[in-house]
Structures are given as C-alpha cells and as structure tokens.
C-alpha cells in the first residue's frame, strides 16, 4: 500500500507517520501551496485520480479546493496538479486515457488546445471554443466549460447581480472572457462592450456572440487609459486580461464609471485582492474577487464528476481566509 507524503503532492512508498513523529505538528497547507489533503491518507487500488493540467500550475488552488470536498462527500479520490508544457499536451492526454484518470481541469495554456484531443464536447463548450473540465469514462473523454456558470452563480448569490437587461464592459477577449461573455449573453444582458488591445481578437469574439444571441455587442480598441462612454452606464465592469497575474494595474477612468457598477476581476491571487480590485474598492465600488469564479467553476466541475454539490463559501475561505 502507498501513502501520499505530506506536502509533496506525489505518491511515494513512504512510511505513514503520526503527528508525534513529525515533531507534534499537524500538516496545514499554506494558501496556494498545499494539496488540501488530510494526513495520514491511504491510497488504495480503488482510489480515483483527478487533476489539473497547466503551465505553469504551481500556483493552483484547485487541489486545496477539491481534495477536502472529496473527503467531505466520501468520494475515494485525490486531486493533483500536473505541469504540462504546451507541446506535451497530446502525450499527457494519452497518459490520462492509459492510466484511467477520472477527470481533469484545464488551465492556461490548454483550454483551447485540448479540443481536438477529446472524444466529445458539450455543445456549450463547443460554442465557447474552450474546455476547462473533462469527464473520463473508460478512456472516453468529454469536455465541458464551467467558467461561465462559475462566474455568474456566486456573483448572483453574493452581490445580488441579476444579468437581465444589464450593461457590461469587459476588458480582454481571452478564453475565460469568452466563457463569461456567452454566459452573460445567455442570461439576458442588453449590451456587452469588449475592450482589448488586439482589436481583431475582440471582433472575433463579438462575431461569435452576435451569431448566437440578440445582445448588442460592441468592440473598442483599448490602448492606454480606458475612457469609453460605456463606463457611464455600466452595471458590471470585468477585468479579464492577464495583467492581474503580474500585479499590473489596468488603467481606467474611474471618475467616469457609473456609481451603480460592480467591479469584477477574473484573475485571482492567493494572498489577497488584485491591485485592480483594491483600486476599485478605494473608489467605493463593490468588488467581486476572481477567487469566487474559481470556486464556482470548481463546484460545477465537481458536480459533473460526482453528482454532488459542495459549499462554495467554505471552499473560498479555505483558499482565502480574508474573504
């Protein structure tokens, strides 16, 4: 029998120890750096393996979300993070089939590259053009996208946001933005303004949105401080670029933003709000942290895999006690 060595995230033939054998200290994963597993943990031949594929992936909070939830619902499973460079994704997916993994999450840069490697794709994910969740059954891989519902459900529950007839401004046009934009359109927003430094990418997303819905979609070239008139009537401002990952601050004309707006960031940090959300809060706006989208999409993936729900509030505070 094998056990998961505390703090390693790797299966080894290590000796199972008790707290007294480790100087009397229990293992407590630090935010963003732990597996979320309780020790000692017994791994048997029946234990199912789930994981997240990304590059880089060392910062991922997903193991710390899913492992306690597997334990809470009595699901004999573990969830690990796998760093897979872009050129190795096909080989990794072959390994998933060969080794019988039960399910996957995908993060940057694999959400679009995974599509041709799957056996089936949920229609909503196919329309978005990106997959972040895979369910595996006897080597048959089906792709889903839970980002959109993962964004909207906690936003409604926590801040009371009702999308119908609302006006939305989104900074960015990447994979996560695509999922959120389609979800907002399906939920009945009246207008979406897409602002992106590469206008062609925003226009491509706008065409896809217009092809399947009636929402007014407009694109704006964003090069410098964002001062578009749409800010004045905006109900929801979403930061969806990678700037937050690098602690850079998107330039916004905050005095122009409607006082009724909610400010959201799709990026999350393990150590606290992004600078974008910190700035929005200093201007008096209610903010919606990317950590809520993270746990929201994780909850939907968990439901797809197990059929069971989990407590989003509990999972979020496990990742970020300050929430």
Residues annotated catalytic, as ranges: 111
How far apart CA 312 and CA 296 sit, in angstroms, is 7
Residue 154 and residue 129 in contact, taking contact as beta carbons nearer than 8 Å: no
Q: How far is CA 215 from CA 164, 186, 193, 211, in A?
A: 10, 9, 10, 10
- C-alpha dihedral sign at 180, 185, 186, 189: positive
How far apart CA 129 and CA 151 sit, in angstroms, is 17
How far apart CA 269 and CA 109 sit, in angstroms, is 18
Which residues lie closer than 8 Å to 182 by C-beta, 6 or more apart?
124, 127, 128, 148, 209, 212
Instruction: Please count the CA atoms within 13 angstroms of the CA of 21 that sit on its side-chain side.
Output: 7
How far apart CA 133 and CA 308 sit, in angstroms, is 16
Strands 42-43 and 48-54: unpaired
Peptide bond before residue 56 is cis, with ω within 30 degrees of 0:
yes
Which residues lie closer than 8 Å to 126 by C-beta, 6 or more apart?
none
Q: Which two three-digit tokens encode residue 129?
A: 């053009």
């Amino acid at each position: 029998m094998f056990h998961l060595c505390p703090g390693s995230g790797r299966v080894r033939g290590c000796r199972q120890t008790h707290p007294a054998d480790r100087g009397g200290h229990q293992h407590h994963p630090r935010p963003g750096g732990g597996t979320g597993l309780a020790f000692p943990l017994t791994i048997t031949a029946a234990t199912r393996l789930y994981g997240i594929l990304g590059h880089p992936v060392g910062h991922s909070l997903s193991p710390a979300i899913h492992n306690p939830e597997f334990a809470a619902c009595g699901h004999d499973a573990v969830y690990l993070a796998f760093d897979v460079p872009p050129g190795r994704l096909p080989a990794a997916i072959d390994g998933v089939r060969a080794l019988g993994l039960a399910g996957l999450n995908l993060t940057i840069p694999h959400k679009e590259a995974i599509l041709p490697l799957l056996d089936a794709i949920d229609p909503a994910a196919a329309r978005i053009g990106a997959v972040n969740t895979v369910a595996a059954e006897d080597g048959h891989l089906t792709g889903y996208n839970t980002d959109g519902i993962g964004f909207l459900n906690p936003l409604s529950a926590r801040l009371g946001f009702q999308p119908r007839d609302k006006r939305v401004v989104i900074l960015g046009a990447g994979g996560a933005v695509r999922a959120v934009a389609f979800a907002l359109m399906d939920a009945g927003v009246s207008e979406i303004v897409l602002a992106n430094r590469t206008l062609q990418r925003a226009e491509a997303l706008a065409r896809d949105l217009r092809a399947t819905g009636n929402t007014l979609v407009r694109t704006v070239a964003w090069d410098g401080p964002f001062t578009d008139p749409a800010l004045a009537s905006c109900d929801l401002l979403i930061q969806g670029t990678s700037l937050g990952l690098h602690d850079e601050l998107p330039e916004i004309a905050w005095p122009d933003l409607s006082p009724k707006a909610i400010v959201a960031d799709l990026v999350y940090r393990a150590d606290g709000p992004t600078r974008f959300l910190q700035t929005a809060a200093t201007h008096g706006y209610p903010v919606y942290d990317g950590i809520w989208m993270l746990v929201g999409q994780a909850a939907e993936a968990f439901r797809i895999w197990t059929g069971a729900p989990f407590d989003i509030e509990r999972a979020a505070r496990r990742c970020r006690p300050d929430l």
